[in-house]
Amino acid sequence: MEESEKYFTKPLNLFDYEQQAQKCLSPMTWDYYASGAWDEITLRDNHAAFDRIKLRPRVLVDVSSRNFTTKILDQPLQMPLLIAPMAFQCLADPDGELATAKAASSAGVGMVLSTMSTKSLEEVAQVYHSQTPDAPLWFQLYIHRDRNLTRALVERAEAAGYQALCVTVDAPVLGRRERDTRNQFTLPPGLQLANLTTLCGLNIPKQQGESGLFTYFAQQLDPSVTWQDLEWLQSISPLPLAIKGILRGDDTVRAVACGAKVIIVSNHGGRQLDGAIASLDALAEVVKAVDGRAEVIVDGGIRRGTDILKALALGAKAVLVGRPVLWGLAVDRQAGVDHVIEILRNELDLAMALSGCAKLEDIDSSLLVVGC
C-alpha cells in the first residue's frame, strides 16, 4: 500500500470530498473550480439559502418503501438529479467527462455536457448511451457571435443523440473571477477544448496552445443575444430547449412564451454577477410564473439530500449538482463520482423517510418553514 493510500479516509459526505479534493488539485485548478465572481457573496449564499429554510416533518406515515424515480422531458431519472455542465473536467481526472458520464449513466441520473468540455461531445454520448440509452443527456450551449459555430455544435449534438439543448443565458460577457486573474489561469499542455478542435470549415484562428482556443471561445460570447435568438435556435433544431440562468418571474414568462420546455433557475454557481440572488431564493417566483407550462430545475449550493428535498418542496422537478462531482473526480476518479451520487441518493432517501414522504409526489411546500 502506498503511503498516500494508507491515510486515505473515504469521505462521509460532500463536504469531506471538498476538503480532500483541495489536497488533490493544483492551486490554480482548485481556484478555477471553486471560485466565484468578485467577493463571492453569491457563491456563499447559494448554500446558505438552504440553511435558511427549515423542515416540518410529517409523522405516522408509512414510509417502509420509498420511491424517488421521476422523469424530465419524459426522460427517466432514477432520482431527481442531473449533473450540471462544467468545463475542463480533465483538470480533475484524465478521463474527465467520460468518467462523469459513466458514473451518471450507471446511476441512471442525467448529465448536461458543457460546450467547453475536454472530451468531445461524441465520445461522451457514446459512453453515456452505451449504458443508459433513455436517461437525459443534454448539451449545454451558448449562442455565439459566429452563428455557424453555434449551428455546427447543435447539429453535432443532435446527430450524437443528445435529447435537449441547455442554453445558458446569463453570460452575455464573462463574470470576473479574481482568483483566476491572480493565477493567470490557462489550460495546461495536453488538454484541449475538444468540441472546438474537431470543428472543420469554421473560421477558428490558429493560435498556439489550448489557452488560445479558450481565448477565442470567450470572445465568442455575444452580448447582443436576445429572446429572438431562441426562436432562431428552434428553427435549426427540433431538440427541446432548457433555458439556464433564469432568476426572475418575468424572464420565466418570456422564456416559456419563446418555447422553453425547461427553466433552470441558476446564477451560474455564483460565477457571473456577484450579489445576485441565491438560486433557491428565486425558485418559488419562477415556479409560480411557469404555472405548469414547463418543468423547473434548480442548481447552486446543493450539498445534502435535505437540500434536494427543500428544492423539490419549493416546486423544482429536479436539481443540478456541479462542483461536488468535480470533487469526486479529483479524489477517486469515476468511483468518486459514483460515491457522490450514492451519498446524495442515500441522504435523499433518509430525508424523505424522516419527513413522512414515501414518494416524490408527497413532497410539497407544507414541509417547509422559510426564514426561521
32 labeled part of a ligand binding site: yes
- Strand-pair partners of 70: 77
CB 294 within 8 A of CB 260: yes
Half-sphere exposure of 15 (CA within 13 A, CB side): 3
299 labeled part of a ligand binding site: yes
Contacts of 282 (CB under 8 A, 6+ apart): 246, 247, 248, 265, 267
128 labeled part of a ligand binding site: no
Nearest Cα to Cα of residue 21 among 339, 349, 348: 339
Contacts of 64 (CB under 8 A, 6+ apart): 358
Whether 339 is catalytic is: no
- The Cβ of residue 44 has, within 10 Å, a number of other Cβ atoms equal to 14
301 labeled part of a ligand binding site: yes
Residue 141 φ/ψ, nearest 5 degrees: -140, 140
Question: What is the distance between the alpha carbons of residues 368 and 346, in angstroms, rounded to a whole number?
Answer: 21
- Strand-pair partners of 53: 370
333 labeled part of a ligand binding site: no
304 labeled part of a ligand binding site: no
Catalytic residue among 47, 129, 144, 268: 268
114 labeled part of a ligand binding site: yes
Question: What is the distance between the alpha carbons of residues 148 and 368, in angstroms, rounded to a whole number?
Answer: 47
87 labeled part of a ligand binding site: yes
Q: In which residue are the cell numbers 452563428 written?
A: 147
351 labeled part of a ligand binding site: no
142 labeled part of a ligand binding site: yes
162 labeled part of a ligand binding site: no
168 labeled part of a ligand binding site: yes
70 labeled part of a ligand binding site: no
302 labeled part of a ligand binding site: yes
Which run of H or E residues covers position 77? strand 75-77
- Intra-chain end-to-end CA distance of the chain, in Å: 49
248 labeled part of a ligand binding site: no
Q: What angle do CA 61, 59, 349 make, to 5 degrees?
A: 70
Q: What angle do CA 61, 368, 75 make, to 5 degrees?
A: 75
300 labeled part of a ligand binding site: yes
140 labeled part of a ligand binding site: yes
What residues are labeled active site?
268
Residues in the annotated binding site for FMN: 85-87, 114, 140, 168, 244, 266, 299-303, 322-323
Residues in the annotated binding site: 32, 85-87, 114, 140, 142, 168, 177, 244, 266, 268, 271, 299-303, 322-323
